[in-house]
Structure 1
Amino acid sequence: MTPAFDEGQLATGDGHRLWYAQYGNPHGLPLFWLHGGPGSGASLRHADLVDLARFRLVLADQRGCVRSQPAGGLENNHTGLLVDDIERLRRHLGMERMLLGGGSWGATLALAYAARHGDMLHGLVLRAPFLATPAELGGFFDTPQCWQAFAAIAPASALAPGRLLPWLAGQLASSDAQTCSRIAGAWRGHEQALEGRPNEAAEPPDEALVQRYRIQAHYLHHGCFLDPDALVEALGSLPAMPVAILHGDADRVCPPANARRLQQRLPGSRLLIVAGAGHDPFHPAMAAALRQALDGFAAHGSFDGWGACHG
C-alpha cells in the first residue's frame, strides 16, 4: 500500500487525541472517509479503493478508537463531538470543501455532519447506511441467535428483548479483563455469523477488540446519541449536492430499506443496490461499485450515469 504523505495526532481540547493520515495526491480532490463501528477504527485498505493520483484521501480514527487516545475512552465520547471532530480535522488540514464518505456507522456520521456543515461538502458517498433505529438494534441483539451467542456469559435475565445490550455496555465499561475478553469473543462470533464471514473464534480476543466493543456498546446502548427520524428529516434541508448511495442486496446487518429511505429524502441522489454483496466493504462487487462512483465524481464532479436517480 502507498504510504501516507502526512500522519499525526490532533488534540480535541477535552482529553482526546485523534489519529489521522493522508494518502494520495496532496493537491487532489479531498475525500474524507469515515470508518464504521462505532469503534472499529479506519481500515487502511480503503486506500486501495481510491484513485490516489486524483484524490487526497483522509482517514482518521474516531474518539477512543485504535490509534486515537485514550483508546477505549468513553468520557466526552458521543456523536455530537464526533461531528465536531470532523470539522476540526477539516480545518486543521486546510480543506476548504471535501467529498465525505463512509460505510455503515460511517455513513450515519457523514449524514450527521452534512446536517450541520453541508456547505463544506462537495458531496456524499454512503455505503450500507445505518440509521440506529430500534428495529436495527433489535435485529442484532434481540434474537435467539444472539442470546445463544452470549448464553455462556450473560445471566439468564439479560437474554430477553431490550436487556442484553444494557448488560453488555455495563460489563464492558466496568468489568475485569477476563470477562471483557469473553464478551468480545462472543460478540465477534455473533457478528461473523450474522455477516456470513468465516469463524475466527480460534484467535483470542485482544485488548484492541475489547476496546472496539466497549465503544460500540456505549454508542448502541445510547441509540448512537441521535434521533433517526430527526436525522432523516433534516436531510430535506441540505444544500443541493451530489449523493451516491450503495447497498448490498444480501446485507444482513443494515437493511437495504435504509438506502431507499435516504434516497427518498435526497432529491437527485443516485442509488445502486449491489447484487450479491453483503455488509463487507471489500466484497469484490461492492469495491468495484465504490471505485466506479469515485472515479466518476473525480472526472465529472457528479455521480451522473452511475446508479439509479431519484428525481
Structure 2
Amino acid sequence: MSLKTLFPEIKPFQTELFAVDGQHRIYVEQSGNPEGAPVIFVHGGPGCGCGDWARRFLDPDFYRIICIDQRGCGRSEPFLELNNNTIQDLAEDMEKVRCHLGIEKWLVHGGSWGTTLSLYYAETYPASVCGLILRGVFLGRQEDIDWLYQGGTGQFFPEAYAKFTSLLTLEEQKNNIASYYRYLTSPDKAIRERYGKAFADFENSVITLYPKLLSDSITDEDIAMATMETHYFINSCFMSDNYILENAHKIKNIPTIIIHGRYDVDCRPIGAQLLFEQLNKAEIIYTISGHSGFEPEITHALIESQEKFKSLFYS
C-alpha cells in the first residue's frame, strides 16, 4: 500500500489579526472550502506557529481550515510576549475565534503541544468540539517534562543531550529548563540566540526516527519555541500535574483518533495509551515512527484520520 502524502499547497482565502484582549492580537487564517466543515489546526511548541504547511494535512475541498498562531509566536503580536500567556489564555482565544467566525462546533486537530492545548480546550469547552485528531500526545505532566529535558530522552540521544547540557554548569543542570529560561530571557540578544539555537537543535534532534539535518541559521522560530517552551514548562503548563487525565471524563464521548509513533522518545507512547483508556469513543494508531507529523507513516495516518471524520459531518 502506498502512503498518503500532504495535500497540495494552497493559499488562505482570509487572514486577520484578531484582538483577544487589550494586549494580544492573534493571527487567524482561513483556507480551503469557505462553506466546508470547520476544523481548527492547533500547532505545537509552544511557540512554533502554524506555517504554510499546517493547512496541507486537511482536504481543502471538504474542510474550512482555520489556523491560529498562538499568543506571542508566529505572526501574532506582540511577538514573544510572555505576559498573559497561559494555557487558559490560549484555550479562551480558541473559543473567542470560534464565536468570532460563527462556528457552532469544530473538529480540533492538534499535534505534540497542540494535543495538550486541544485536550485542555476540549475539556473546558466540550460543547464546542465535534471531534479530536491528536498526534503525538503530550499530557504536560512534570514527568513528561522531566523525561524530555532532564535525561530520559538523553538515554536514546545521548550525544544530543550532552550538547544540550554542555552550555550549563553542573549546578544549572539540576534543572535544565529553569536554567535555559534564565538565559532565554536575558537582555543580551547574543545570549538569547545562543541558548535558543541550542534548545531548538536538541528538540529537532530527537523528534524523528531517522536523523534530521539541522540548519546552521538561527531563526525567530528557534527563539520563540525555546522561550515559549521554557516559559510554559517552568510553570507546569499552568495546570495541576495530572489535569488532563483527571478531566478526561468530560470528553469521553467525543469521537477521537489518537496517532502516536511507536518510537517517539519526545512524547512517550504511554501518555497516548493512558489517554485512550479514559475515552469511550477513541481509536489509537501506533505507527513505526518517531514524533514528527512529517514522518511518512504519521502523515499517512493523519490524512486517513481526517477522511474518517468526514462521515461525522454527513450524519
> 2:117 and 2:143 mapped to 1: Cα distance?
19
Q: Is the 8 A contact 1:153 1:182 kept in 2?
A: no
Show the counterpart of 1:248: 261
Partner SS, residue 245 of structure 1: strand
1:185 aligns with 2:197: yes
Amino acid at match of 2:191: T
Residue by residue, what CA displacement relative to the aligned partner does 1:263-301 show, whole Å, maximum 9, x if unpaired? 111112111111x21111011111111111111111355
Count of residues in Structure 1 that have an aligned counterpart in Structure 2: 298
Alignment TM-score, normalising by the size of structure 1: 0.91
| Corresponding position of 1:158 | 172
Q: Which of 33, 46, 67 lines up with 2:41 in the alignment?
A: 33
- Mean alpha-carbon deviation: is it higher for 172-181 or for 25-34? 172-181
Uncovered stretches (5+) of structure 2, i.e. residues with no partner: 1-8
Structure 1 counterpart of 2:23, from 15, 20, 24:
15
Q: Any idea what the Cα deviations from partners look like across 1:36-88, whole Å, max 9, x if unmatched?
A: 00111113212222111110010010000110011111011011000100001
Q: Distance in 1 between matches of 2:161 and 2:10?
A: 42
Distance in 2, matches of 1:263 and 1:150, equals 32
CA RMSD of aligned residues (A): 1.7
Q: Which runs of 5+ in 1 are unaligned?
A: 303-311
- Does residue 169 of the first structure (1) align with residue 181 of the second (2)? yes
CA distance in 1, matches of 2:176, 2:260: 28
Do 1:8 and 1:20's aligned partners in 2 also have CA atoms closer than 8 Å? yes
Q: Is the 8 A contact 2:34 2:64 kept in 1?
A: yes
1:3 and 2:11 are equivalent in the alignment: yes
Equivalent in 120, 124, 129 of residue 121 of structure 1 = 129
Q: Secondary structure at the match of 1:156?
A: coil
Assess if the C-alpha contact under 8 Å between 1:72 and 1:212 holds in 2: no
- Correspondences of 1:58-69 after superposition (within 5 Å): 58-69=66-77
Higher deviation after alignment, 226-235 or 285-294: 226-235
- Please name the residue that 2:96 is paired with: 88
Q: Is the 8 A contact 2:180 2:230 kept in 1?
A: yes
Secondary structure of the residue that 1:38 maps to in structure 2? coil
**For residues 263 and 239 of structure 1, what CA distance do their matches in structure 2 show?**
9
- Residue identity (%): 28
Q: Which residue of 2 aligns with 1:297?
A: 309
Contact conserved, 1:31 with 1:57, CA < 8 A, in 2? yes
Q: Determine the C-alpha separation between the residues in 2 that align with 1:13 and 1:35.
A: 21
**Residues of 1 paired with 2:55 and 2:250: CA distance?**
32
Structure with greater contact order relative to length (CA < 8 Å, sep ≥ 6): 2
Partner amino acid, structure 2, of 1:198: K
Query: Residue 225 of structure 2: which of 212, 216, 227 is its match?
Result: 212
- Conserved? CA contact 1:169–1:218, under 8 Å: yes
Looking at structure 2, the residues matched to 151 and 29 of structure 1 have their Cα atoms a distance apart, in angstroms, of 45
